[in-house]
Amino acid sequence: MSSTLKSLRALSDQTRLRIVALLESNELSVNELQEVTRLGQSRISTHLGLLTECELLCSRRDGKRSFYKLNPKADAVTGEFIQLAIRGAKELPEHESDQINLKRILQRRGEQAQVYFNQVAGRFDRVYGPGRSWQAFGHLLLRILPPIVVADLGAGEGLLSELLARRCKRVIAVDNSEKIVAFGAAKAKKNGLKNLEFRQGDLQNPPVDPNSVDLVVLSQALHHASDPAEAIRSAHRILRNGGQIMILDLLKHAFEKAGELYGDRWSGFAESDLHRWLEDAGFKRVEISIVAAEEQPPHFQTLLASGEKG
């Protein structure tokens, strides 16, 4: 088969068009391409092999990792194919989310502290150490908290709110269930937490004054919202300048029974959607990463997203 026919065949697949477009200005590793596209490693590697065979891409090794980029020595015909592929990729529905995910990954490359934390967290449970536990680490980290005002939106019975109230200046726990709010308020009173207040309200319009809190927390709550983007905009409204939003929620998944079993409105979220909603709401310094992954089916993964009101 001629090189022209090989290139045409290679670029007949939409995923390979996406890969070429992602490499337009950047060299990326297999893992990074996998994270952007949300495709399996073996599938990504197969596509990269075909594109490299046609001399559309070239690769290099760095330790155990392989990095790919567009072939800088491509002849004129191959160069034309590359440009057509990039143009075609921009017409695909995945292009916008690919670019958002690419931006996030490039920003994260320099964040060595996060990389180190992930490595440490991955080793944590491998070797037993007396007295070493996530519970103990959690109490340590709580004591580092400054005296801030926190809004815990979708707080439920207030487990996180109670923990925060033991260190923060004030915590406002918001939930849409009258019974849960009454339960949480009674428990807070019993435990002597005078700085913890429960309020009944909706995520899209929480009963909190504008520009009044330093931190908004949405912990496994956003997937219950009827309009997640509006909930994020409301969080921005109630934050003071310089305040932060922290979102813990599920990565988009295919476990269809989640709605029936847990009352979820949304099957998790793509990083690109969260990133776009946060930026559209006015948040700066947006960061999103996967912070936990369950080993058992259905293999839920947890995202941590943050942003600053500036």
What class has domain 3-108?
A: mainly alpha
Query: Which pLDDT band holds residue 129 (cuts at 50, 70, 90)?
Result: low
Q: What is the pLDDT of residues 33-54, one digit of tens each?
A: 998 998 888 899 999 999 999 9
Helix axes 41-53, 30-37, angle to 10 degrees: 120
Fold for domain 112-124+132-309? Rossmann fold (3.40.50)
Q: What is the pLDDT of residues 154-172, one digit of tens each?
A: 999 999 999 999 999 999 9
> How would DSSP label each residue in 178-242?
HHHHHHHHHHHHHTT-TTEEEEE-BTTB-S--TT-EEEEEEES-GGG-S-HHHHHHHHHHHEEEE
Q: What is the rounded average pLDDT for all residues in the chain?
A: 90
Q: What is the predicted pLDDT for the residue at 135?
A: 78
In the chain, residues under CATH classification 1.10.10.10 are 3-108
With beta carbons less than 8 A apart as the criterion, state whether 301 and 292 touch. Answer: yes
Q: Which amino acid is at 83?
A: Q
In the chain, residues under CATH classification 3.40.50.150 are 112-124+132-309
Q: Round to whole Å and give the CA distance between 32 and 13.
A: 20
